[in-house]
Amino acid sequence: MDFFKLVVFYQKCFKLITIFNKTMTKIILDCYTDEPAGLGVPPYIGTYPRYLYGYLKSKAKKENKKDEEIYYLTIDDLRLFLKHGNRKKETKLHEKTNITIHNLTNNSPDIKEIFESLGNHDELYVVLGVHVPGKYLTAMPGTIHEINTLLKALFKKVHVRGKRILTGPAATEFGTRLEGGKFAEKQDLSLFNEVIPEIVKDYDEIAKYSIVGAEIIEQIVNEDGWNYVIAEIETARGCGKGVACSFCTEPLKNKLEFRKVKDIIDEVKALNEKKVKYFRLGKQGYFFAWNVSDIKKILSEIRKNCKIDVLHIDNVDPVRVDEEKVKLVVEHCTSGNIAALGVESFDTEVVKRNNLNSTPEVAMKAIKLINKFGASRGNEDGKEYNGMPKFVPGLNILFGLIGEGKKTQEANMKYLSEILENDLLLRRINIRQVAVFPGTQLDEEAGNKFLRKNKKYYWKWRNAIRQKVDNVTLQKLVPKDLVLKNCIAEIYDGKTTFLRQIGTYPLVIGVKAKDGKRLELGKFYNIKVTGHMLRSIVGEIV
């Protein structure tokens, strides 16, 4: 055994001794979360595990439990251990990256010993729940059914003791749903001793725990040792609308409440000190609910006090879009920023019956205003230029809402065509079949009635938007020969490497292998656009 191997061997032994000698153990098992307000699917690290880590760490310190250890694991770690014997195989040239075991922590090699270290008074926290069904390039969120199956398999393999606590969106009365067009998953929660939607909810407590919780970053490492964590930052919760949109769970969970500006900035600073460089102010119903002076302070102070590579936002209510707020985002955020507009439908009858955020006219006004100030790409030689416009809209369209019919698609196409005719930029159009959650107006008034009624049209309707709108807007957004900078290689699909810029709703870029060699994952490249698919692009290294 050479010297290097001997050092690694002794390090391993020391780590295992440390694990078993701890008097108390806590495990946070992140199965990933996605909500109308808040994303925690890799490469995003959500608020639930960070706040929870800070709470547990602070509690241990207060109770003078100096030797308590808190481990962060992902469902990918657990899948790799149970389904693949903790061995990750190389992705061969004809294979696709297995995204179910892609997001491993640096605790992954010791997962068996970590679970075995759980004592009778220790705790396993499972963070889980999707309320916004979507598709993810590099991750697969867990479901209650899957985690139940995995835990039962784990219990047969490892003697796991202690209390099991379910937290996150799945712990609410609404449950979880990975696919649109269906009711929320029926949940068997019998494996859990406690079900608590939010362990930490009070904003004064979050102010403290979010700072301590930044330490969790030290346990996150991606495939082959590279990591590019995007921190989802909470700015507010709940919704200020008098009547909730028919499908949305956010107003049912929380009343509208804003965090203190200083607390937001301090959390970003704490994460930045842990070398996180990518941030999205995304965990809120709509960022423009903040007033102009607070938006200016949040954005300017983050840029002034932190070393930032990406600062983006997420949800924007079309009704609250105004010139001053748009200008502040353009001035202080980084390029490639997207305003995710919850339009949902351009059918005025559907808007009315589902209490949607805005009329088609208001939505069009917002789209034009964001384009007016955000569509420019900046100075090509500028430090933050990455090829993308500074700030452009993205649209959310939902199928299955109350009152939907053929006229709904006609209205959608009418206004989408108007966007094209006005030469306006769009980053993307998200088209989903609505998920029906208990307690919402949609569930109580219609359930899946309109989903069933119009199911036969959905492929045709979606395909019309993709063919007639998406491809045209994509070519305007990223024309041929444009160079997109700082694209990170993320996964393989046969001979193709898929890359994205880091940020909110980044474009997927496919690069074919050259001379039988694919791009190295985890590396950054500058890519020239050579062609366009419906929703993604193809390119080559420059």
3-state secondary structure 411-431: HHHHHHHHHHHCCCCCCCEEE
- pLDDT score, position 2: 62
Please write the tens of the pLDDT for every residue from 379-411: 777 778 899 999 999 999 999 999 999 999 999
On whether the CB atoms of residues 118 and 164 are closer than 8 A, the answer is: no
| Euclidean distance between CA atoms 226 and 521, whole angstroms | 9
- pLDDT score, position 16: 54
- List C-alpha distances in Å: 510 to 223, 288, 518: 19, 34, 11
- pLDDT score, position 350: 97
* Beta strand pairing call for 509-512 and 496-501: antiparallel
| Euclidean distance between CA atoms 504 and 270, whole angstroms | 21
Query: Which residues, other chains included, contact 128 with Cβ-Cβ below 8 Å and sequence gap of 6+?
Result: 31, 32, 33, 141, 142, 143, 144, 147, 166, 167, 168, 169, 170, 171, 176
Return the closest-CA partner of residue 426 out of 416, 436, 439, 435.
Answer: 416
Q: What is the DSSP letter of 519?
A: P
Q: Which DSSP helix (H) or strand (E) runs through 123? A: strand 123-130
- pLDDT score, position 70: 96
- pLDDT score, position 7: 46
Query: Which residues, other chains included, contact 7 with Cβ-Cβ below 8 Å and sequence gap of 6+?
Result: none
- Digitized pLDDT (tens) for each residue of the chain, 542 residues in all: 565 455 455 555 555 555 555 568 999 999 999 998 899 999 999 999 999 999 999 999 999 988 899 999 999 999 999 999 999 999 999 999 999 999 999 999 999 999 999 998 999 999 999 988 788 999 999 999 999 999 999 999 998 899 999 999 999 888 887 777 667 766 789 999 999 999 999 999 999 999 999 999 999 965 555 578 999 999 999 888 878 899 998 888 888 999 999 999 999 999 999 999 999 999 998 999 999 999 999 999 999 999 999 999 999 999 999 999 999 999 999 999 999 999 999 999 999 999 998 999 999 999 999 999 999 998 777 778 899 999 999 999 999 999 999 999 999 999 999 999 999 999 999 999 998 888 899 999 999 999 999 999 999 999 999 999 999 999 999 999 999 999 999 999 999 999 999 999 999 999 999 998 999 999 999 999 999 998 999 999 99
Return the closest-CA partner of residue 222 out of 537, 462, 488.
Answer: 488
Q: Which two tokens stand for residue 46?
A: 């959500």
| Euclidean distance between CA atoms 173 and 252, whole angstroms | 10
Q: Which DSSP helix (H) or strand (E) runs through 370? A: helix 360-374
3-state secondary structure 142-172: CCHHHHHHHHHHHHHHCCCCCEEEEECHHHC
Length of the chain: 542
Q: Which two tokens stand for residue 297?
A: 């302070």
Tally the C-alpha atoms within 13 A of residue 299's C-alpha that lie toward its C-beta: 25
Q: What is the DSSP letter of 393?
A: E
How many helical (H) and strand (E) elements, i.e. helices and strands, does the chain have? 16, 20
